[in-house]
Chains A and B, each alone.
Chain A
Amino acid sequence: MTMTSILKKVAMALSGLAMLGFLVMHLAGNFLLLKSAKAFNDYSAMLHSTGVLLYVAEAGLVLFFLVHVVSGVRVSRENRKARQTQYAVKATAGQATLFSRTMALSGLIILVFVPVHIAMFKFGNAGGGGGLWGLVMREFSQPLTAAWYVLAMLAVGMHLSHGVGSAFQTLGILKPTWRKPLRQAGVLLGWALALGFASIPVWALMQAQKV
């Protein structure tokens, strides 16, 4: 399907913001891990008790993920084609950031991370005692697994620190005076989410070291 440049960006912005909403809920749920095994396992059971609603939500997330990845790949390919000869001297005019320049890299890390993460916890063996809580704690007791999760969450922080503000600019739904505050709020929210998620493997690893 051919889509104009702006429609591709709108698709990226909408799917990105939808996934951002999911991340906020996901992190809130994850913090129940810190409360108690029962609280977390009860939350998981509650989600599963919604039956078909859960499947609808999951299908939605898969769709947003695919739309985001496919448009992202197409946008980057077109952008590479738009400048075939590079400059000998490269400088930024001051508004680009390290993270805005590395969206493809951070996106790629997340692209690898998501299937690994789903395989580990959604389709992992939660029968080994302690239910899902036990599975999470066992996986994160491996320092390498915990480190990989922290690295992936840094990629999430990088991606969101440019992505959130960028999505609002692409949608163009707010007044120009909102642009800078939104961008700053996006950076703040992005890193708060990333560090929040990263705190969980770190905490779990510390718990495992204590025993």
Chain B
Amino acid sequence: MKFTLKLWRQKGRTEPGAFETRVVEGVSEDMSFLEMLDKMNNEIEAAKDGVEPFAFDSDCREGICGTCSMVIGGRPHGPGELSTTCQIYMREFKDGETITVEPFRAAAFPVLRDSVVDRSAFDRIIGAGGYVSTNTGGAPDANALPISKADAELAMDAAQCIGCGACVAVCKNASAMLFTSAKVSHLVSLPQGKVERTPRVLAMVKQMDQEGFGNCTNEGECEAVCPKGISISHIARMNREYVRAKLFGA
């Protein structure tokens, strides 16, 4: 297969960026999108003409770590459903197609180089309260703390978030509500997390605002591209948690 890639190239955080067009030939349909980029980068390096390889993030390459990013053809993580960029295969594209690759665009995710963005804003949101700090003692007996099946499922659904940032990338407002709400909803579903529910939701939302993410306008684009299928019901739940914390928290 042969593809024309329009790649966003940017040398550094403060440098201006621009698109560069490259043709990649001899691509197997069984290559993942990242393997296709690896092949392209090998060719760039082999040419030894001073051109730097295309920078992109990746780590586990099995769809569970949330490191790979990129907006492919206008969609974060490319064309697949419930899929990260590393799980996209070239057979999903048409031979000869022109594919545009851009970094996640958000003021809170500054571009570091090419398609690599700084997502440490997410770490700071988690750092503001996305954890349990109450001492729960030694490991209790299994089932000593009964949790209903429904609550356990809800917590697990929310806990699936891998923090990739696709929700922010697709949102027309670059809002981080799906990410933040997944953690709030996960922890408030469980007895260990309920203890700190009030300070948690207040601090995490405050941090989210400070990072410069936009406001949610309830379109639901985030849940459509989320590789883990996290529902915007968690956003509704965080809104409720937040109002509860404001009204009855103190």
Contacts and interface: CB of A to CB of B under 8 A. Distances in A.
Interface of A: 4-10, 75, 78-79, 81-97, 100-101, 103, 162, 165-166, 169-174, 176, 179
B173 A82 contact: yes
- Size class of the B contact interface (CB-based, 8 Å): 35 or more
Contact of A79 (B6, B108, B215, B239): B215
A176 B225 CA distance: 19
13 contacts: A5-B205, A5-B208, A79-B172, A82-B213, A88-B102, A89-B73, A89-B100, A95-B223, A96-B172, A97-B219, A169-B218, A169-B239, A171-B243
Contacts of B183: none
Contacts, number: 134
B214 A82 contact: yes
A5 B174 contact: no
A171 B235 CA distance: 10
A83 B214 contact: yes
A103 B217 contact: yes
Interface string B199-211: 0000001101100
A82 B216 contact: no
Main secondary structure of the interface of B (DSSP, over half): mixed
A169 B74 CA distance: 26
Contacts of B216: 5, 9, 170
Among all A-B residue pairs, the 7 with the closest Cβ atoms: A91-B74, A82-B214, A172-B236, A176-B233, A172-B240, A93-B224, A79-B173
B239 A170 contact: yes
Contact of B233 (A8, A88, A95, A179): A179
Contacts of B107: 81-84
Contacts of A82: 106-108, 173-175, 212-214
A100 B172 CA distance: 11
B224 A95 contact: yes
B180 to A, nearest CB: 10
Contact of A93 (B217, B225, B233): B225
Q: Which of B231, B233, B236, B243: most chain A Cβ within 10 A? A: B236
B116 interface: no
